[in-house]
Amino acid sequence: MTGYLALDEVSVSFDGFRAVDGLSFSVEEGELRCLIGPNGAGKSTALDMICGKVRPTAGTIFLQGRALNRLEEHEIARAGIGRKFQVPSVFRELTVRQNLDVAHSRQVGVWANIARFGHHADRDGLEKLAELVGLEDRLEVPAGHLSHGQTQWLEIAMLVAQDPRVILMDEPTAGMTVQETRKTADLFNRLKGKHTLIVVEHDMGFIKEIGDVISVMHQGRLLAEGSVGEIEQHAEVRAAYLGSGGISGA
């Protein structure tokens, strides 16, 4: 397989149900790839397999030619994969600042971190980051007190702090207002190029703003791949997912 991040005939079954069935696609470095498909198409499961949460029962996932399958989750993260979960996953009892500090994981060892106090190695950076997502006034607030949209942004900011080469985003705009979604689209367009992104989304307006290439999944398989225009015209995609109205109507 070629490509920066590549899935080669990857499958996984849960109790006999093949959630992902021989999925192959590859993403180039710096690309922002959108992954769409109806509910149960296996989009989240595909991300789960890339970040190690779910082990593929067959097939291989490569990052720059290196197989990720046999690695543990933290090793995959160290290899350069970051993940934002569908249900916002932050540390609710820790403050926003502490959340960003944890995510800023240049040093991962127990002994390397025991002598590090104050964590202000990159304090300005963290504060700029908080500003970027509009949380600069909430740095000392426990993450459990944030609104849903703010929690989404905190997790996105945490991924930026982690600074992985590949960022996997699972429905980043779920629960966001129109303005918040637009701001997120701006942010993603800035991340593009520096990071390689795979974004699972349902919001077609959002996809139109950020997407270069779209991969469509259906019943655990890749159904189609192409630009927004190509996907809109794709007969099978329309039948399976978009309906007759096309992307604009969805």
DSSP 113: H
From 17-25, 87-95, 176-184, 194-202, give the range in contact with other proteins by CB under 8 A.
87-95
Distances (CA, A) of 197 to 118, 167, 193, 206, 220: 31, 5, 9, 14, 20
Closer by beta carbon to other proteins, 73 or else 230? 73
If one asks whether residue 127 binds other proteins (CB under 8 A), the answer comes out as yes
Q: CA-CA distance, 1 to 7, in Å (whole number)?
A: 8
Among residues 86, 82, 98, which one has the least CA distance to residue 144? Answer: 98
Nearer to other proteins, 67 or 108 (CB): 108
CB 132, min distance to other proteins, A: 12
- In Å, what is the CA distance from 22 to each residue of 33, 50, 124, 218? 19, 14, 45, 12
Q: Are 68 and 17 in contact (CB under 8 A)?
A: no
Tell me: does residue 150 bind other proteins (CB under 8 A): no
Closest CA to 155 of 240, 88, 241: 88
By CB under 8 A, is residue 98 in contact with other proteins?
A: yes
Helix (H, G, I), strand (E, B) or coil at 168: strand
Which residue lies nearer to other proteins by CB, 128 or 245?
A: 128
Residue 78 Cβ vs other proteins, minimum distance, rounded to whole Å: 4
| Comparison of 159 and 204: residue with beta carbon closer to other proteins | 159
Assess 123 for contact with other proteins (CB under 8 A): yes
Cα 237 to Cα 219: distance, rounded to the nearest angstrom? 12
Kindly write out the interface string for residues 33-62 of this chain, putting x where it contacts other proteins by CB under 8 A and - elsewhere: ------------------x-x---------
Binding-site ranges for other proteins (CB under 8 A): 51, 53, 72-74, 77-78, 82-83, 85, 89-95, 97-98, 101-103, 105, 107-110, 113-119, 123-124, 127, 130-131, 136-137, 139-140, 142, 144-145, 158, 162
